[in-house]
Structure formats: C-alpha cells, structure tokens
Amino acid sequence: MNINDTFSGNMLKAADLKGAQPTVTIANIKMEKLGDDTKPVLYFAGKEKGVVLNKTNATNIAAAYGPETDNWVGKRVILFTAWVDFQGKSVEAIRIRPAPPQQQPQSYQAPPQQAPQFEPGSDFGADDSSIPF
C-alpha cells in the first residue's frame, strides 16, 4: 500500500507527479479556506486536483504572464518537483514554470532562388568602380 494514495486529498502533491513534468493549462484560480488560512489554489484544464499557490510559484507565473491572475487563465505551465527546505526539513515540493510557446508548423516555403544567368561577353562586371569594396 502506498501511503500517498491513502491520503490523496484534493490538492496535488509532489508525490502525485511521480517524476513527470506535465505541461498543463491554467483553468482558474480560486481563494479557498485551507485549515485556518485562505490561500489561492490553481486549477488546470481537465484535472481534478489543484495546487496551493505559494509565493515562489506565483512569482514565477507572474514573471511570464503578469501579476493579474485573471490573465493566467488559458496559459500553459510546466509542473515539476524540487527539493526545498520546509520547517527545517528537506521535502519535495511542486514548482511551476511557464511553458515555452507552442511552435506553429511552417506552412510557407519560399521558392528556391536561382542564380542570375549572364551571357558570355556581356557588359556585367565591366565597370565595377561603384562597388565600395
């Protein structure tokens, strides 16, 4: 029995990622009562569990998408784990960074360039005094 499965709860924990670094889309941010505190919780499209937003993660997201959380909805982020100090102990925590922009496939390709054709004996190159080098 895995103890993390037994006490899964409705918030995402570092153990839930199982070493993966998923790219997710922010669906909404809600202020929720957690114990004696009220904290922002970040939810993702197609996912049930949210992430309690700490200052580090909020600052990382705000650096990419601005400080207004309403503007974060629809933005893509990457979730990953990192070892952090918490209450004097090293623990794994979820960290968030912005996802790189999605690359669009190139639909336009320039036609191949052909070198100009010159006839032997033409005047090309006869007077190159105007060339600055």
Q: Considering the domain boundaries, does residue 59 fall inside one?
A: yes
pLDDT category of residue 109 using cuts at 50, 70 and 90: low
- Looking at the domain assignment, is residue 17 inside a domain? yes
For residues 129-133, give the mean pLDDT. 45
In a domain, 126, yes or no: no
Separation of alpha carbons 83 and 63, rounded Å: 22
Residue 118 has a pLDDT of 58
The residue-averaged pLDDT of 22-49 equals 96
Which pTM was predicted? 0.71
Name the residue with higher pLDDT: 25 or 10: 25
Which run of H or E residues covers position 28?
strand 23-34
The answer to whether position 122 is within a domain reads no
Examine residue 90 and state whether it is found in any structural domain, yes or no. Answer: yes
The residue-averaged pLDDT of 65-76 equals 97
Q: Note the pLDDT of residue 132.
A: 47
Query: Does the residue 132 lie in any domain?
Result: no
Residues 6+ apart with CB under 8 A from 84: 90, 91, 92, 93
Range of the domain at 79: 3-98
Q: Specify the number of domains making up the chain.
A: 1
